[in-house]
């Protein structure tokens, strides 16, 4: 393990990679601060830039963008009560009252320190647990993988908002259906290409990500007439006294653990982790009733947990090749685009990438702290750009992101169609993350199902042949019926 970590640090401690972590954190922070644009959009915008890099360098940059965007989302949450990312909604509950009571500097400083502590503790936990999880998962066969992916897809739906479970499942099917467009690589047969050459290679995941997130988000802002202009912010005092540090230390420890383990669960992610941490502190500490009025514990808990969850979500991605959230699904897509097949073998076959990403988390958290403490007031000025100028800019960069990969104008037409569909679906409250997850996992899911059926001589008995598969099937069924049970209990 120590050798691996040293290898990781050796990779990352080059001037190029250090600059990539730094730029990833800076870009992620800026994009994360823009309300409506979260880590998914930030990573999607950055992927075309990373195509020229080595896979390890590309992943280091994208990982930096990821935790930078989560942290950036907290800034707009705290300062203007406009969470840029769903994972920072809970941060605004106490962060915004604290900032509006004349202590914006303190609120930002607590967020920065809590994010740093959460990210660093979770990175240590990742180093300790990931190799064991990877070894455990090496015994997995195609049948286990198929069911495990089904479990991941069902978990994402089960953890969706209340009342959106069936919608999330339907969106997963929609994503899976889109993944079948193009040439079936095993048989060489074209499927749903409508006779168009442009669709032979299928739909690009970047096109889908840009259309459903960055572009759809910009169009939704216009639809809702959300043309507020933000005012510049001042820093104020950023110092914490000894008593405050003493009060926050146990909160940070508890929330880091909770955030990391929630982050590991496919489908849970930073949003659920931050709400759980906030709820845990609110209900289990003495000053719970003061939460919501600018309590520093109420700010530190969700902020620590969301960063710890981001790091935790890398565990299923790096050890099992299964993304735990929409954001890690995009990272999975990026890995595939670099020509790397994420699987439990990644840890063994590509130790350079595996450990470099982990090492980048330590360095990235340090950079985030160094960047954000002094620069927050200046970076936040981007919020003052009027939406009339910002939205066409977002659209332009979305189009360029797609066009520069294929140089095919048909992709731009597809982008506008996908964005239109995504806007309609989002207005009807259909979640987009399960669709993207379904789309990315579709190909791997079909491959594993095909292999499992072939190995079982065309029988579906592979589903109950091995104890591990049976356990996973039971878990999947439990997850599938869990919303029904929850509803029954709450009645």
Partner 1 sequence: MNTYKFGIILLICCFLIYTHFTGDIYLDLWAEEEAFHARTFPYLIGIAGLAISVLLFILPGNTEHLTDIRQLKFSPALLLLGMTAGYGLLLDYLGFIVASFLFLILGFIILGERRIWRMGVSALLLVAGLWFLLDALEIHLSPGLLLQEIL
| Residue ranges that bind partner 1, judged by CB under 8 A | 52, 163, 166-167, 169-170, 173-174, 176-177, 180, 184, 186-187, 189-192, 215, 218-219, 222-225, 227, 386-389, 391-393, 395-396, 399-400, 403-404, 409-413, 415-417, 419-420, 423-425, 427-429, 445-446, 449-450, 453-454, 457-459
**β-pair partners for 190:** 183
CA distance 101 to 106: 11
Compare residues 127 and 425 and give the one whose CB is closer to partner 1: 425
Compare residues 135 and 229 and give the one whose CB is closer to partner 1: 229
For the range 228-231, what are the long-range contacts, defined as Cβ-Cβ under 8 Å and sequence gap of 24 or more? 228/387, 229/384, 229/386, 229/387, 230/80, 230/82, 230/383, 230/384, 231/384
The least distance separating partner 1 from the CB of residue 412, rounded to whole angstroms, comes to 3
User: In Å, what is the CA distance from 369 to each residue of 81, 353, 478?
Assistant: 21, 24, 41
Compare residues 250 and 392 and give the one whose CB is closer to partner 1: 392
The least distance separating partner 1 from the CB of residue 216, rounded to whole angstroms, comes to 10
The least distance separating partner 1 from the CB of residue 138, rounded to whole angstroms, comes to 25
Compare residues 65 and 425 and give the one whose CB is closer to partner 1: 425
Compare residues 413 and 470 and give the one whose CB is closer to partner 1: 413
**β-pair partners for 191:** 182
The least distance separating partner 1 from the CB of residue 36, rounded to whole angstroms, comes to 14
The least distance separating partner 1 from the CB of residue 107, rounded to whole angstroms, comes to 29
Which segments of 153-254 are extended strands (E)? 182-183, 190-191
Compare residues 102 and 392 and give the one whose CB is closer to partner 1: 392
Compare residues 369 and 436 and give the one whose CB is closer to partner 1: 436
The least distance separating partner 1 from the CB of residue 373, rounded to whole angstroms, comes to 29
Compare residues 133 and 173 and give the one whose CB is closer to partner 1: 173
Which structure tokens are listed for 98?
């604290």
CA distance 291 to 271: 18
Continuous H helices in 269-408: 269-284, 296-312, 314-315, 326-337, 346-349, 351-379, 387-406
Kindly report the backbone phi and psi dihedral angles of residue 192, in degrees, each rounded to the nearest multiple of 5, phi listed first.
Answer: 50, 35
CA distance 259 to 277: 7
Compare residues 129 and 406 and give the one whose CB is closer to partner 1: 406
Residue 491, C-beta contacts closer than 8 angstroms, at least 6 positions apart: none
Kindly report the backbone phi and psi dihedral angles of residue 241, in degrees, each rounded to the nearest multiple of 5, phi listed first.
Answer: -85, 170
The least distance separating partner 1 from the CB of residue 178, rounded to whole angstroms, comes to 10
CA distance 211 to 222: 15
Asked if 227 contacts 35 with a C-beta cutoff of 8 angstroms, the reply is no
CA distance 149 to 94: 37
Nearest to 55 by CA among 319, 436, 349: 349
Which structure tokens are listed for 488?
């029954």
Q: What is the DSSP letter of 385?
A: S
Asked if 333 contacts 205 with a C-beta cutoff of 8 angstroms, the reply is yes
The least distance separating partner 1 from the CB of residue 259, rounded to whole angstroms, comes to 27
The least distance separating partner 1 from the CB of residue 188, rounded to whole angstroms, comes to 9
Compare residues 356 and 394 and give the one whose CB is closer to partner 1: 394
Asked if 106 contacts 88 with a C-beta cutoff of 8 angstroms, the reply is no
CA distance 334 to 354: 14
Compare residues 204 and 360 and give the one whose CB is closer to partner 1: 204
Asked if 280 contacts 305 with a C-beta cutoff of 8 angstroms, the reply is no
The least distance separating partner 1 from the CB of residue 399, rounded to whole angstroms, comes to 6
The least distance separating partner 1 from the CB of residue 219, rounded to whole angstroms, comes to 5
């Amino acid at each position: 393990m120590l050798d691996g970590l040293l290898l990781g640090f050796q990779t990352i401690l080059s001037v190029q990679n250090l600059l990539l972590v730094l730029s990833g954190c800076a870009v992620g922070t800026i994009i994360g601060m823009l309300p409506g644009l979260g880590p998914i959009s930030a990573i999607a915008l950055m992927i075309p830039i990373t195509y020229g890099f080595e896979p390890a360098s590309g992943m280091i940059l994208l990982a930096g963008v990821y935790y930078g965007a989560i942290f950036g989302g907290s800034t707009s949450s705290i300062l203007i009560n406009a969470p840029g990312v769903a994972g920072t909604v809970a941060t605004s509950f106490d962060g915004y009252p604290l900032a509006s009571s004349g202590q914006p500097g303190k609120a930002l400083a607590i967020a920065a320190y809590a994010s740093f502590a959460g990210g660093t503790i979770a990175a240590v936990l990742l180093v300790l647990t990931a190799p064991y999880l990877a070894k455990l998962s090496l015994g997995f066969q195609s049948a286990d993988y198929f069911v495990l992916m089904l479990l991941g897809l069902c978990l994402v739906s089960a953890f969706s908002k209340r009342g959106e479970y069936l919608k999330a499942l339907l969106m997963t099917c929609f994503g899976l259906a889109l993944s079948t467009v193009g040439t079936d690589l095993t048989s060489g047969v074209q499927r749903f290409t409508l006779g168009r050459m442009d669709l032979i290679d299928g739909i690009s995941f970047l096109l889908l990500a840009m259309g459903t997130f960055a572009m759809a988000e910009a169009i939704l802002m216009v639809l809702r007439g959300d043309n507020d202009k933000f005012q510049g912010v001042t820093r104020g005092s950023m110092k914490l006294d000894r008593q405050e540090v003493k009060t926050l230390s146990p909160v940070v420890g508890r929330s880091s653990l909770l955030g990391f383990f929630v982050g590991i669960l496919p489908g849970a992610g930073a949003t659920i982790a931050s709400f759980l941490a906030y709820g845990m502190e609110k209900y289990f500490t003495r000053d719970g009733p003061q939460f919501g009025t600018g309590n520093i514990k109420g700010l530190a808990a969700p902020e620590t947990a969301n960063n710890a969850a981001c790091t935790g979500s890398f565990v299923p991605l790096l050890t099992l090749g299964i993304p735990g959230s929409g954001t890690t699904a995009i990272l999975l897509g990026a890995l595939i685009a670099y020509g790397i097949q994420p699987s439990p073998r990644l840890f063994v076959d590509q130790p350079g990438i595996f450990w470099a990403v982990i090492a980048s988390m330590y360095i990235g958290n340090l950079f985030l702290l160094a960047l954000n403490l002094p620069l927050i007031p200046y970076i936040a000025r981007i919020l003052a750009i009027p939406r009339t100028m910002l939205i066409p800019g977002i659209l332009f960069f979305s189009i360029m992101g797609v066009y520069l990969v294929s140089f095919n104008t048909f992709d731009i037409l597809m982008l506008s169609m996908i964005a239109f569909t995504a806007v309609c679906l989002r207005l009807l409250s259909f979640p987009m993350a399960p669709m993207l997850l379904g789309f990315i996992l579709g190909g791997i899911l079909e491959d594993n199902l095909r292999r499992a059926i072939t190995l079982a001589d065309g029988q579906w008995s592979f589903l109950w042949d091995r104890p591990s598969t049976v356990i996973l099937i039971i878990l999947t069924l439990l997850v599938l019926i869990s919303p029904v049970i929850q509803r029954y209990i709450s009645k």
